[in-house]
Structure 1
């Protein structure tokens, strides 16, 4: 068995990023409303958590000003970005200026922004927030779900954007994995 990694060492952080960078993720923008208007940030630490009840989880940095601004509203919307939305991811991945300048959006049922052109979206109310190291883990109770746009998702792999075709040039095999939370079970097909 290996030894436990020592915290606070730059070489540990670099190795951690390298290893976990090999886990391909989708790219989302988490949005919400603050007293000053819409706020949001790019987030790849997002996942489905539970089917019954429907819950999702995302993990913003503890120092995120965008999360701090939207947290008091008690609601957020996770916008799953499409492959053609790399620029939107870049805008929301940076700190600073008005990220919504030039971005079209509509309010969800909770009032959180739904970005035009998103692959899909998940509108939520905050259920619970847990401390998680230098991040917090936000569990959201799903209020509404968006339609799914017929296009490929924006992916992030090994520190850069990637397309589905780049990751698997052979194409999708059509295999069904019954134990994955976000995929239909065989019994749901009939």
Structure 2
């Protein structure tokens, strides 16, 4: 018997799928870059993961409908800022469409002028290595050129539509 060549249609609704995905606790990041004109851009994302240690690769994904997609697709670099527990308000600020996301936000510029958010638990400065269009998102694979972290920082976590901090078991 030959294997199927195509997946079966889903036996669940988009709401059920989202609810199931919400059972996976994640860290919270703000992915940042600079446009060709030097304007900082950024958005809250929890679709971040490691890919490879050698070479050092990470990935994240962005909706095809996102206004920032052209800038992230064509820029040479971006930064992934893993937020600390005390940066919940930043996560919320960068998750809202429109408005001034950068007002009052302290940052320095990293590789390719990607903003590095002050106080982040960790930062990954990435060369924009490759992109893959899948479904309604684009998957970005970044080759990490520089990394930094704050020893002892408590990360901000997201699970089931709510923010949390870590509690050791």
Provide TM-score, normalisation by structure 2.
Answer: 0.90
What residue number does 1:168 align with? none
User: Given that residues 111 and 126 in structure 2 are in contact (C-alpha distance below 8 angstroms), is that contact kept between their aligned partners in structure 1?
Assistant: no
C-alpha separation in 2, matches of 1:87 and 1:20: 23
Q: Does 1:5 align with 2:10?
A: yes
**Which of 100, 123, 126 lines up with 1:124 in the alignment?**
126
C-alpha separation in 2, matches of 1:143 and 1:124: 6
User: Given that residues 118 and 149 in structure 1 are in contact (C-alpha distance below 8 angstroms), is that contact kept between their aligned partners in structure 2?
Assistant: no
The residue correspondences of 1:54-133 to structure 2 (distance < 5 A) are 54-133=56-135
User: Given that residues 40 and 67 in structure 1 are in contact (C-alpha distance below 8 angstroms), is that contact kept between their aligned partners in structure 2?
Assistant: no
Greater relative contact order (CA < 8 Å, ≥ 6 in sequence)? 2
Figure out how many residues of one structure are paired with residues of the other and give that number. 161
What residue number does 1:15 align with? 16
Aligned-pair distance for 1:98? Answer: 2.1
RMSD of equivalent CA atoms: 1.4
More strand by share: 2
C-alpha separation in 2, matches of 1:110 and 1:92: 21
Task: Write out the 4+ residue segments of structure 1 that deviate beyond 3 Å after TM superposition.
Answer: none
Match of 1:88, SS state, is: helix
Structure 2's unaligned 5+ residue stretches are 1-7
Provide TM-score, normalisation by structure 1.
Answer: 0.80
User: Given that residues 77 and 126 in structure 2 are in contact (C-alpha distance below 8 angstroms), is that contact kept between their aligned partners in structure 1?
Assistant: yes
C-alpha separation in 1, matches of 2:117 and 2:69: 17
C-alpha separation in 1, matches of 2:144 and 2:32: 14
What residue number does 1:185 align with? none
C-alpha separation in 1, matches of 2:69 and 2:91: 16
